[in-house]
Structure 1
Amino acid sequence: MASQETRQPETVAVVETSKDISQQISNEKSVEASLETSKETHQVTIEAADDAASISSSEGKPQPPWQWKLIAVILLTLIRFGGAWGSGIISPMKSTLKKKLKINNTMYSLLDASDSFIKTVLILLTGYVTDRYGGENILLYGNAVYSVGSVLMAGAAQMRNYKFFIVARIVMSLGDCSTQIAQYQVFSAWFAPSNGFASTLGIELMFNKLGAFAGSGTSNVINSNIGFSWVYWIAFIVNVFTNFCCYAFYWFMRRSEGKYSDVRDPATGGRLKKRSRKLNFKKVLAMPWSFWVVMGYGMFTTITIIIFNSNATEFAEQRFKISAVKAGWYTTLARDAGFVLIPLLAFVIDFFGQRIILMAISSFGIFTAMVLVNYASTVTGTAAAFGIYAVATTFSPLSIIDSIRVTLTEQVDFGTAYALKILVNNCLDVIVAIVAGVIQDRDDNSYDNVVILYLALSSASVVMCINMIAFGYFTVDIGMLQWTRKQRIARGDKIVDRDRRTRAEDAPKNRRLSTVLFSCIMVLMVGAWVAYIWGAATGNNYDS
């Protein structure tokens, strides 16, 4: 009995000690959870305070009227028209440039690839800066830089100076990428998805294609009738006109600043921000997984279009057995004739959604065209391929850019997101171009084996599209790409919940995925630099 009585207090003491330890551990966990919650609450409080300050500053002010938005959109699209004109006159002038500047294919390739190369170096930083300071301000400076490059190029053409030409091309590229990102960032701050964003994109892309069509279609005509240097002086004159449009837009925005309230997303009620509070270089590591899915599809679709377009004229010469002038007109029509469909597609996206369906039509259409290019080598088969290609490529740019906007949880990150897209496109352009060039050189300048590469790239696009369709059936993150305007407004709570999950419980998974994929992009970028330098040194460029 005495022994049992002795053990009982000991047992009670052990139990009490165990309880104390458990209580202490529980208290420590509570403190940690409380600290974490406090951090999150503090961050949310800061963001809420920032939003509240903006809301209070615009309280009682009306929303911008549609007439105001229309004037601003028209001015913005006219700015891009001039940029597209200037950018579209290099490739059609290849043979003339080589004669006038007394350069070979390798030197021309270095000139042509300098555009993609400089964009791989600076495009991501441009996206960050655009998000921080707003598209309106960057647009002004970007267009000014482009104008400097345009007059330098005209001067280089007048002097027949090759090195001067490369410098001018690089300066123009800096301005071109800045204005393009700035424009789209401005649109994202004015229009929510399914509420005008696609329509404004459609208008801009239509004017962009018109500018490229006008520049490429008239360059050889101007050269034959007026003179070589006048091709670039007229491009500069067109750019002077776009400068007036740019300054008119800037003046218009400054005059209307403070008169209207912030635009809000009708589905979520969220405020569309014109700029972020600070530079945040870590935002690329917090992109939603759905953004990367759209990026994967866009990567293979866009590189197929870029590579095929860059060789379409010479390919048409060989298949159709026609002159370079006729081939140039055929390929220009195949590349840009679909501009008449773009506003209609924009209307469909804004009102009826179906972005995945449109991307599927594009990828399967391009794939069909590449199949015909490979296995129907007759004139009739090639002509059919060009016709299908012309229609199919009309669907992709608009649907991809709009889908990127839909997948983002923070609209103010759109500049960085679009910069990532351009970065990947230009890196792949440099690498795949050199691979294609090596294949063509080994095949005695024939396209018999190069077209297999086109088919492989378009097949990868189809695979990514099938994956996207599957994700659309099972997840809100991708499924909302299909929603109509009415569905998006009715399901606004689901979008809000999805955005909350992406920033909260799903944040670690998104961060890991984004870290891995962004690291792959950095490796791809270094690979593009190495490929560019190697191609320039050895002459193994696609245009050689």
Structure 2
Amino acid sequence: MAARPPQNQEPGLQQGHNIQPDVFKAPAEDVRAVSEKGSTSVSTDDASPNDRPELVMPRSWKFTAIALVCSISFGAAWSARLAASMKSTIKKELSINNTQFALLEASEEFMQTALMMLSGVVTDRIGGAAAILYGNIILTVGSIIIAGAATGKSYQLKIFGRIVSALGDVATQIATYRAFAGWLAPSAGFATTVGLEIGIGRIGGFLGSSTANIIAKNTGNFAWTYWVAVFVSLFTNVCTLIFFKFTKKAHNKFAPASDAATGEVLTEKNKRFDFHKVLELPWTFWTIMLFSMVETSCAIVYSQNATELAEHRFKVDAVEAGWYSSLSQYGGFVFSALFGALIDVYGHRLSWMAVCGFGMLLSMALINWSTTTGGVAASYATYAVFVRIGPVVIIDGIRSSMWHQDVFGSAYAAKITMNNATNILVRIIAGVVQDADDNSYHRVTIIYVFLAMSSLVISVALLIWSWFAVDLQLLQYTRKRRIARGTFILERKRRALEETKGRNRTIGTYCLSALLLYVLGSWAAYFWGVATGNN
């Protein structure tokens, strides 16, 4: 009589793959035991396995680390939004048009596309804490140059200052989440922590965005807004230095954390550069990248113009418009941590992507087709809720899709590089469209609708595809199911890195090459805009 197949076999695993049936029946306790032992067979930290301390890091230390990172994010977001919510004021004071303003914004994104991938690899090597420290120092230097440019009303010097700031921003954007990836595993607090950090950052951004024009109006000189940003940046540097020393002490005193499902040891930094692991990023990672390309860029470009758009649609001054746009962008900050906790416990990352895509489309449709003040207000309110889902589910989805945690910095760098390339293209096109439409927002909002519609289509397609693709189903796992299926995840990893390694590396090479071509295309648009003054 033929042997009966295991009843709990996962879809997509057919006979002939040399897997023992009992591999799927490993109890969660066995997997937790692996985690508690803190296996060091695949460690990439600077210390050798025999030199590692055996003490398990208490939760109080992890909470302290999270609080310090949130303080850094709060200060950084406050400083950044002080300088970024004055589009109409900047255009007036510097006597520039929308295309020139778009080029000002694109100059920073150009540097990010040029250096972000390199920064990701370096961050994986030196660790998130060190990268945050160095990045924030450079950011402060850039903010001083920008403040000086505002004082002298120099458009060219302001561009230079934005480029210097971008060099620091390149490091800090990756480093925060790289640090989290070395402390927390998927479905074990990573999404919650990311959501909390984003929420705290939104509070800082709200304060910066809502008070920027108030400072400019009450002082009589818009340059004071940028000098306040310098002082806030100095506060951020102090928090960063404390976090750097705290992280160093924690890693010397405690054993590294591990993934409760797979037993993988989580590392804060690597002993060497692992370029081959970047080529082995799974195909599921690239599907999340595709969603992020349109959803994130839609949110960023919309946020950039939210204050001026509010001036046009609500017929108010820059100060009142700043409050409206701030509420839409940052008012729903409490939802970030909530969504993160829901994703950690209940999973369904692809489902949340579809919800996010639907909400973004609804908001953009209202802003494009509504002709009443109430319709615009509804758009802002809808955006305030649904924009909170995107960053959390994308960042956690990237982490959950990866086979190698120790190259998370490089993977996240690829995501930011792609988003910034898209932002360059969209912002320059949007600036030209707006200039051709007498500086109104009658035509340019259709671009927002297109990006939001694309995000919904991609997310729904991935959700349907997950019914047939086993590796996409892993992104839907709840915490309980992920721990119970730890051995199954390890088997999928083994197949990807051994049986189908050549095919997976080919896919990764093609995707990275396509990303490079996309970046070069955005550079061409940037230089064309700089040379001609328009696109």
Map 1:245-284; keep pairs closer than 5 Å. Answer: 245-284=239-278
Point out the more displaced range, 436-445 or 223-232.
436-445
Query: What secondary structure, in the 3-state scheme, does the structure 2 residue paired with 1:257 have?
Result: helix
Are the equivalent residues in 2 in contact too, given 1:109–1:536 (CA < 8 A)?
A: no
Contact 2:99–2:428 (CA under 8 A) maintained in structure 1: no
Counterpart position of 2:147 = 154
When you count helix as a share of all residues, which structure comes out higher? 1
Does structure 2 retain, via aligned residues, the 8 Å contact 1:338–1:390? yes
Q: Does 1:297 align with 2:291?
A: yes
From 225, 250, 254, the equivalent of 1:231 is 225
Superposed counterparts of 1:91-490, under 5 Å:
91-103=84-96, 105-226=98-219, 227-490=221-484
* Amino acid aligned to 1:377: T
3-state SS in 1 of match to 2:288: helix
Moved more, 468-477 or 105-114: 105-114
C-alpha displacement of 1:157: 3.0
Query: Contact conserved, 1:345 with 1:395, CA < 8 A, in 2?
Result: yes
- CA–CA separation in structure 1 for the residues paired with 2:155 and 2:321: 27
After superposition, the C-alpha distances for 1:390-444 in whole angstroms (9 at most, x for unaligned) are 1111111011100000000000110011101110111011112222233334434
Higher mean Cα deviation, 343-352 or 179-188? 343-352
1:45-95 C-alpha deviation (Å, 9 max, x unpaired):
x97586897433225x11111111111111111112222122212332233
- Is contact 1:83-1:176 (8 Å) kept? no
Tell me how far apart the structure 2 counterparts of residues 376 and 50 of structure 1 sit (CA, whole Å).
Answer: 55
d(CA) in 2 for partners of 1:324, 1:99: 12
Going from structure 1 to structure 2, the CA distance change for 1:137 and 1:513 (only over 3 Å counts) comes to same
Query: For residues 324 and 497 of structure 1, do their structure 2 counterparts lie closer, same or farther at Cα, with a shift above 3 Å needed?
Result: same
User: Scaled by the length of structure 1, what TM-score is found?
Assistant: 0.86
Match of 2:528 in 1: 534
- The answer on 1:519 being equivalent to 2:513 is yes
Whole-angstrom CA distance in 2 between matches of 1:228 and 1:116: 24
The alpha-carbon distance between structure 1 residues 68 and 323, as it changes in their structure 2 partners (threshold 3 A), is: same
Tell whether 2:502 aligns with 1:508.
Answer: yes
Runs (5+) with no aligned partner, structure 1: 1-45
Secondary structure (helix, strand or coil) at the match of 1:488 reads: helix
Task: Tell me the alpha carbon deviations over residues 365-411 of structure 1, each in whole angstroms, 9 at most, x when there is no partner.
Answer: 11122223333332222222222121111111011100000000000
Report the AA paired with residue 93 of structure 1: M
Helix, strand or coil for the counterpart of 2:182?
helix
Change (3 A) 1:236 1:293: same
Q: Deviations over 1:488-510 (max 9, x none)?
A: 11110111111111111222222
Alignment partners' CA distance in 2, 1:427 and 1:321: 33
Asked whether 1:74 is paired with 2:74, we answer: no
Change (3 A) 1:470 1:105: closer
Alignment-derived partner of residue 498 in structure 1: 492
- Equivalent-residue separation in structure 1 for 2:202 and 2:398 (angstroms): 21
Give runs of aligned pairs for residues 29-40 of structure 1, distance below 5 A. none
Partners of 1:326 and 1:90 lie apart in 2 by 17
Q: Deviation at 1:290?
A: 0.5
More moved, 338-347 vs 442-451: 442-451
SS at match of 1:88: helix
Superposed CA deviations along residues 155-178 of structure 1, whole A, max 9, x for unmatched, are 333344333322222111211221
- Normalised by the size of structure 2, how large is the TM-score? 0.87
Identity of aligned residues (%): 44
Counterpart-to-counterpart distance in 2, 1:135 and 1:52: 14
Over aligned residues, Cα RMSD in angstroms? 2.2
- The answer to whether the 8 A contact 2:102-2:428 is kept is no
- Contact (CA 8 Å) 1:90, 1:112: kept in 2 or not? no
Deviates more, 1:154-163 or 1:237-246: 154-163
**Closer, same or farther: CA 484–166 of 1 in aligned 2, 3 Å:** same
Choose between structure 1 and 2 for higher RCO, CA contacts under 8 A separated by at least 6 residues.
2
Q: Which runs of 5+ in 2 are unaligned?
A: 1-39
Matching residue of 1:43: none
